[in-house]
């Protein structure tokens, strides 16, 4: 296994802020030399124990011999690159490392040779051991590790032995200068294609020119000055440099950063480097933009299952020699770039659907991206790399390599071959869920942070860093290290703060310094939120909640007496609305044309009223069209005067309901598509999707988990029929032409949507069910359903529920279990619909569960409701009526904290314009005693009111409360704000 670095799982977030020397790099791609990897190599020794030893205890190992493996980030990435380059006809990847002259030397050289690597520039250091990782692994998988640097850290000196031995007698400056000159000469020779070492073995008759590097890949498990020397040589030759930030917790050496084109931290490393939050994609983009302002030419971040993001940029300014750039903590030689394009790439499905070991996933991803760069993807398009499709290809290639790596155990054993990556791309690369898209909202976040960091002063930067939980180091650098102080009272909005970036002027300045908090910067016992400056755009958004609402169609069965009693009032209201529409038509036309319009409006009104009399699904659709959401509680008087005019006379939308979800087969059996379309058109609503409802016969013992394979097959077949309806409704949703603006927006996006809740997939007693068999059956059934629905361009979402009278225990009792099933199924069009009542039943936090699913790109739908939980089941009460704080927090997260595409490639919105929205919000309530129209209005008003209140909380400083983890602070704001 690889040691001393934390790895992501299977998704990756990539922020690449394009190199400022883009023309030189673009020209270099024509050379097509090999990838050059400079880094560490370890002998990983694993000792298997029944349990880890306690202090002073001697243990007998479970196995007579340890397990040996080649490790180290450098070796992992070099081998990954060799496997991914094999069969392409290009020169073998070159690996430069330091090996010890020990018993493992022959074995290590043989392993590297078998991988197909050119190690001609690697050096065997006499009298020194190879780097080593020693792991104690107990029977439960817990491990304790020790890393020995060996030749990785001590073997890079090029001074002659006699010179080195007498170095203490010479001036320290002279020795350092001579050492640096020798290393620079060695690095330049290696980058140019030579061995850089007279004693190194030859690779044959291959010319040095043919071995000139195309891309340099570095990691931080070797000394920083070594990386700096190779990066400087590559930059001088116009060769792009990618630096993996893993392996070292200190700030990046400024001399190294000034030559790096892509700095590649994972999420934790990005937090340490910047001191900024990274919970959302916008925050990650802002942190990357801050690094760019401090001198990083590009930033590549891996964030487990949150996908990939690439930002491309242009040079903005270059600091004068010896003059520090603003916001860089006094570091000289810094340059700034500005982002100009953002590309979002989703993660690819994991083969087999199960993540087994993510140890080498990041190494595989970065190596694959470097290989793609060597092959000309990215900057080859002739336009500086900003407009072409090469980066999308490179990202998909890297995502495929990472997805394969997490599906297998071990580090090097998990690295994929070229053929495996290409096969995964054949299977999933053309899927809509695998396609990249531009992300202007992330570009904006990075640009704001870069601009703020570029224009800010050092003091302003320190203040923003303190707001993120860090503070300045003494000396020539700024950094975030363990034990630093924090000042949450001065927290600022992520993505807009000016920050001082952790860049060390020298290795020494990175290691020293302390934080001394002044009285004004000390963390208060109770956080006092800081009022933000007026934000007109955010304030305007209070009244523009973008959620598209629907309501449980069966709720419209209730209180028919309320509906029938008001027919006399509905008639004049409908007539007034239609007459107004007709008058508008008459003013635009003349004579018979106007009369025809008036007659059509009258006929439409009569059809609406006739439809309301039907106590069936189509009549319930018409009743949902009555729902309005004016300010204040409706009361009987407002219900007597329903406002028309939505979409030229339709009753729905315009602040009320927007979409309808039909149960299948319950609502749609026996109806034609034309009948459903007409009912929706008359009500001014759009079809949101289809919800599966499996009948008790024959599914009482389970639908997708039924022990009878024939019944499971019947359940899948029935659900596929539901997909067919969802596809037809999605394809024809906008055909009516008279929808309200909000309903038309709801109707625009494909694909269709099928929500699956199976009340019978569970059990009542212990010792009743085979959980493993049920899980396997569910995985296979959902896989079959997802594949069939994908062919119809329909997204499928599972609605988990912990308990129901039909099955006291569900096989999917909570969000984590359901998300795990989605991962096991491994289909991009399978996600979750989260029901707030079900989340409360499961004891979950509404906002946390929604945020986790959205971060995975699987939030396909929302059901909003509330309840007391006194019945042992869901109550289906008005949203926020019982758990008001939880509901408000959910709306805050929906407005500010979710990624821009919470459903991944299936997010609702305008893909061409790069504008994406939240999933449909359906009020899944049970108004048994209330007028369901008024109850739906109350739900809409509650949700819209909480959306607006979330904005007021944000502007009053709630982000500071969250940054400080201060619950009393948040409660105080809620009490003080209307």
How confident is the model over 448-453, as a mean pLDDT?
A: 81
pLDDT at 554: 87
Do the annotations mark residue 787 as ligand-binding?
no
Domains for the chain: give ranges and CATH numbers. Answer: 31-52+61-157+184-191+212-317+334-445 (3.40.1190.20), 655-943 (3.20.20.150)
pLDDT at 317: 67
Do the annotations mark residue 72 as ligand-binding?
yes
pLDDT at 551: 92
For residue range 301-353, list pLDDT tens digits in order.
887 667 777 777 676 766 544 443 443 333 334 667 778 777 777 788 888 87
**Do 72 and 99 meet the contact criterion of CB atoms below 8 Å apart?**
no
Tokens of 277: 């939050």
For residue range 694-748, list pLDDT tens digits in order.
998 899 999 999 999 999 999 999 999 999 999 888 876 544 444 444 444 444 4
Per-residue buried b or exposed e for 302-314, using 16+ beta carbons within 10 Å of the residue's own CB: bbbbbbbbbbbbb
For residue range 901-911, list pLDDT tens digits in order.
888 888 876 54
Catalytic residue among 363, 761, 875, 966: 363
How confident is the model over 384-398, as a mean pLDDT?
A: 73
Do the annotations mark residue 901 as ligand-binding?
no
For residue range 830-862, list pLDDT tens digits in order.
999 999 999 999 999 999 999 999 998 999 999
Do the annotations mark residue 42 as ligand-binding?
yes
pLDDT at 378: 62
Do the annotations mark residue 363 as ligand-binding?
yes
How far apart CA 515 and CA 466 sit, in angstroms, is 10
- Look up 363 and say whether it is catalytic: yes
Do the annotations mark residue 75 as ligand-binding?
yes
**Largest Cα–Cα separation, the chain:** 109
In DSSP notation, 684-753 reads: T-EEEEEEE---HHHHTT-STT-SSHHHHHHHHHHHHHHHHHHHHHHHHTTSS----HHHHHHHS--SEE
Tokens of 341: 């394009």
For residue range 34-86, list pLDDT tens digits in order.
999 999 999 988 888 888 888 888 888 888 888 888 989 999 999 999 999 98
Tokens of 343: 């590309």
pLDDT at 872: 53
pLDDT at 813: 93
Strand partners of residue 123: 98
pLDDT at 292: 78
Do the annotations mark residue 737 as ligand-binding?
no
**Do 655 and 629 meet the contact criterion of CB atoms below 8 Å apart?**
yes
The proportion of the chain whose per-residue pLDDT surpasses 90, expressed as a percent, equals: 32
How confident is the model over 344-370, as a mean pLDDT?
A: 83
Place of tokens 């910047």: 274
**Do 946 and 937 meet the contact criterion of CB atoms below 8 Å apart?**
no
How confident is the model over 110-139, as a mean pLDDT?
A: 89
Do the annotations mark residue 266 as ligand-binding?
yes
In DSSP notation, 584-613 reads: HHHHHS-THHHHHHHHHHHHHHHHHHHHHT
Q: Cα torsion at 279, 283, 289, 295 (round to 10°)?
A: -40
Sign, Cα dihedral of 904, 909, 915, 921: negative
Do the annotations mark residue 408 as ligand-binding?
yes
Which of the residue ranges 112-121, 462-471, 825-834 would you say has the lowest mean pLDDT? 462-471
How far apart CA 314 and CA 417 sit, in angstroms, is 34
**Do 461 and 507 meet the contact criterion of CB atoms below 8 Å apart?**
no
What confidence category does residue 504 fall into, taking pLDDT thresholds of 50, 70 and 90?
low
How far apart CA 43 and CA 37 sit, in angstroms, is 18
For residue range 192-251, list pLDDT tens digits in order.
988 766 443 333 334 555 678 899 999 999 999 999 999 999 999 999 999 998 888 888
Do the annotations mark residue 764 as ligand-binding?
no
pLDDT at 659: 92
pLDDT at 566: 60
Do the annotations mark residue 144 as ligand-binding?
no
Do the annotations mark residue 73 as ligand-binding?
yes
């Amino acid at each position: 296994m690889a040691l001393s670095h934390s790895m992501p799982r299977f998704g990756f977030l990539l922020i690449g802020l394009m190199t400022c020397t883009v023309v030189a790099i673009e020209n270099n791609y024509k050379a097509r030399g090999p990838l050059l990897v400079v880094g560490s190599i370890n002998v990983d020794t694993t000792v298997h124990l029944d349990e880890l030893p306690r202090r002073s205890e001697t243990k007998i190992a479970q196995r007579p011999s340890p397990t040996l493996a080649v490790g180290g980030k450098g070796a992992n990435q070099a081998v990954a690159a060799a496997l991914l380059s094999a069969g392409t006809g290009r020169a073998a990847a070159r690996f430069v490392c330091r090996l010890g002259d020990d018993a493992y030397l022959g074995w290590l050289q043989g392993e590297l040779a078998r991988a197909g690597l050119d190690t001609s520039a690697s050096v065997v250091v006499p009298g020194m051991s190879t780097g080593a990782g020693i792991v104690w692994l107990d029977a439960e998988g817990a491990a304790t590790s020790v890393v020995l640097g060996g030749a990785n850290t001590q073997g890079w000196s090029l001074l002659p032995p006699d010179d080195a031995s007498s170095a203490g007698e010479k001036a320290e400056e002279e020795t350092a200068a001579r050492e640096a000159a020798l290393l620079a000469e060695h690095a330049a020779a290696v980058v140019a294609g030579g061995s850089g070492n007279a004693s190194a073995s030859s690779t044959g008759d291959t010319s040095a020119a043919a071995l000139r590097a195309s891309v340099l890949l570095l990691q931080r498990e070797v000394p920083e000055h070594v990386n700096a020397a190779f990066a400087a040589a590559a930059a001088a030759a116009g060769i792009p440099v990618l630096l993996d930030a893993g392996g070292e917790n200190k700030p990046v050496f400024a001399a190294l950063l000034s030559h790096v084109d892509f700095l590649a931290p994972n999420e934790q490393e990005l937090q340490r480097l910047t001191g900024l939050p990274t919970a959302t994609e916008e925050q990650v983009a802002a942190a990357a933009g801050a690094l760019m302002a401090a001198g990083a030419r590009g930033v590549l971040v891996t964030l487990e299952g949150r996908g990939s993001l690439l930002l491309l940029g242009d040079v903005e300014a270059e600091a004068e020699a010896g003059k520090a750039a603003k916001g860089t903590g006094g570091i000289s030689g810094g340059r700034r770039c500005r982002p100009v394009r953002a590309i979002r790439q989703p993660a690819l499905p994991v083969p087999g659907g199960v993540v087994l070991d993510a140890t080498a996933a990041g190494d595989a991803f970065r190596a694959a991206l470097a290989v793609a760069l060597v092959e000309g993807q990215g900057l080859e398009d002739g336009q500086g790399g900003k407009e072409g499709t090469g980066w999308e290809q490179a990202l998909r290639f890297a995502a495929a390599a990472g997805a394969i790596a997490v599906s297998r155990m071990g580090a090097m054993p998990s690295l994929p071959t070229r053929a495996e990556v290409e096969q995964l791309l054949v299977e999933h690369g053309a899927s809509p869920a695998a396609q990249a898209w531009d992300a202007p909202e992330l570009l904006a976040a990075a640009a704001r942070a870069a601009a703020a960091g570029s224009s800010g002063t050092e003091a302003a930067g320190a203040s923003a860093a303190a707001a993120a939980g860090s503070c300045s180091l003494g000396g020539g650098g700024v950094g975030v290290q363990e034990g630093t102080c924090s000042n949450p009272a001065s927290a600022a909005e992520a993505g807009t703060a000016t920050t001082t970036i952790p860049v060390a002027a020298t290795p020494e300045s990175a290691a020293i310094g302390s934080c001394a908090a002044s009285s004004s910067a000390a963390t208060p016992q109770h956080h006092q939120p800081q009022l933000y400056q007026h934000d007109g755009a955010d304030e305007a958004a209070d009244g523009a909640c973008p959620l598209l609402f629907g309501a449980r169609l069966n709720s419209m069965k209730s209180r028919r007496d309320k509906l029938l009693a008001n027919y006399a009032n509905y008639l004049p209201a409908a007539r007034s609305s239609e007459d107004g529409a007709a008058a508008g038509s008459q003013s635009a036309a003349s004579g018979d044309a106007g009369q025809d319009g008036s007659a059509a409006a009258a006929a439409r009104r009569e059809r609406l009223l006739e439809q309301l009399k039907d106590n069936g699904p189509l009549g319930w659709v018409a009743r949902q069209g009555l729902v309005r959401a004016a300010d204040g509680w409706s009361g009987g008087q407002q219900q007597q005067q329903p406002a028309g005019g939505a979409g030229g006379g339709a009753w729905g939308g315009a602040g009320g309901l927007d979409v309808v979800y039909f149960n299948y087969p319950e609502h749609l059996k026996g109806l034609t598509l034309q009948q459903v379309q007409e009912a929706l058109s008359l009500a001014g609503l759009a079809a949101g999707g289809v919800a599966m409802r499996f009948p008790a016969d024959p599914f009482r013992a389970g639908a997708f988990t039924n022990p009878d394979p024939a019944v499971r097959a019947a359940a899948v077949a029935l659900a596929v029929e539901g997909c067919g309806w969802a596809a037809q409704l999605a394809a024809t949703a906008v055909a009516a032409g008279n929808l309200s603006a909000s309903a038309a927006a709801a109707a625009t996006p494909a694909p269709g949507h099928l929500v699956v809740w199976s009340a019978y997939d569970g059990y009542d007693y212990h010792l009743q069910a085979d959980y493993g068999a049920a899980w396997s059956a569910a995985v296979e059934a959902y896989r079959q359903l997802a594949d069939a629905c994908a062919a119809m361009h329909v997204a499928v979402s599972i609605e988990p529920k912990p308990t129901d009278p039909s099955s006291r225990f569900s096989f999917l009792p909570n969000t984590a279990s359901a998300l795990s099933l989605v991962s096991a199924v491994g289909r991009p069009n399978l996600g979750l619909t989260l029901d707030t009542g079900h989340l409360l039943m499961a004891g979950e936090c509404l906002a946390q569960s929604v945020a986790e699913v959205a971060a995975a790109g699987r939030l396909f739908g929302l059901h909003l409701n509330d309840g007391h939980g006194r019945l042992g089941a869901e109550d289906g009460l008005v949203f926020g009526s019982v758990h008001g704080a939880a509901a408000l927090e959910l709306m805050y997260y929906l407005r500010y904290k979710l990624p821009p595409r919470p459903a991944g490639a299936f997010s609702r919105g305008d893909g061409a314009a790069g504008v994406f929205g939240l999933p449909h919000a359906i009020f899944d309530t049970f108004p048994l005693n209330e007028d369901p129209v008024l109850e739906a209005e109350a739900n809409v008003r509650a949700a819209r009111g909480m959306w607006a209140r979330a904005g007021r909380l944000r502007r009053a400083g709630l982000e500071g409360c969250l940054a400080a983890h201060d619950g009393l602070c948040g409660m105080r704001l809620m009490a003080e704000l209307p």
